[in-house]
Amino acid sequence: MKKRILSFLVAFVSVISLTVCLPTVAASAQTVSDYVYEVLDNGTLQITGYVGEETKLDIPSEIDGYVVTSIGKEAFYNQTSITSVDIPDTVITIGKSAFSRCIGLESVTIPDSVTSIENYAFYRCSNLKSVTISDSVTTISKSTFQECTSLTSISIPDSVVSIESDAFSYCTNLTSINIPHSVAYIGSRAFAMCESLKSIEIPSSVTELGTGVLSSCNENLIIYCYKNSAGLSYAKNNIYIYCTG
């Protein structure tokens, strides 16, 4: 009898000990008003998904009492029915591939609160015709607008210092783009296959260009550049028509 009681006590203590030692499980993602989200360590909210059916999205600045500061990785990935997106001025970061392959997306407004747009954010948004880039963005990241084949023109704000590889490659209908005098670096293939581009100015602020920046563009493309500049060297080395200012 004593042995049975002792065995029971040992087993009971073991169960209690195991329960105490188990790690706390983090709360899973939550869904409110069609938006899937998670709360970040700083107490703000990151949108991680969308399960609604709206085609014109006006993303709220606050969900369930939390301020929306981030559009997370692949949050709207392959949401083909979305045609327009209005991002609130509380958002600071647009994550990797956040709107990638949203082939129905035609316009997007990125407010000045956004300081970071990560790689592939709008990759293959083939119907994107209009985009306004935040004046706070310093880098057009890798493949951000790659294969946005309906873009005809784009204005890059003076805050940008770097245009990374493939940022606008395969934008086959892009006819004009301004590169501000704040830009110092243009990455490989940044404008490759932009076959409708007739001219481009490479400002004197650009000190480095990657390989194939303008490869497979219009054969009559004119590069406007400056004497003793990286743009002039690129034009000469790649046998482009150029004019110096």
Cα separation of 214 and 240, whole Å?
Answer: 10
Residue 109 has pLDDT above 80, yes or no: yes
Residue 6 has pLDDT above 50, yes or no: no
pLDDT in tens, 176-203: 899 999 999 999 999 999 999 999 999 9
Tell me what pLDDT residue 32 has. Answer: 64
Tell me what pLDDT residue 45 has. Answer: 98
Cα separation of 109 and 88, whole Å?
Answer: 9
Residue 23 has pLDDT above 70, yes or no: no
Tell me what pLDDT residue 29 has. Answer: 65
Tell me what pLDDT residue 36 has. Answer: 97
Q: What is the mean pLDDT of residues 136-161?
A: 96
Tell me what pLDDT residue 10 has. Answer: 38
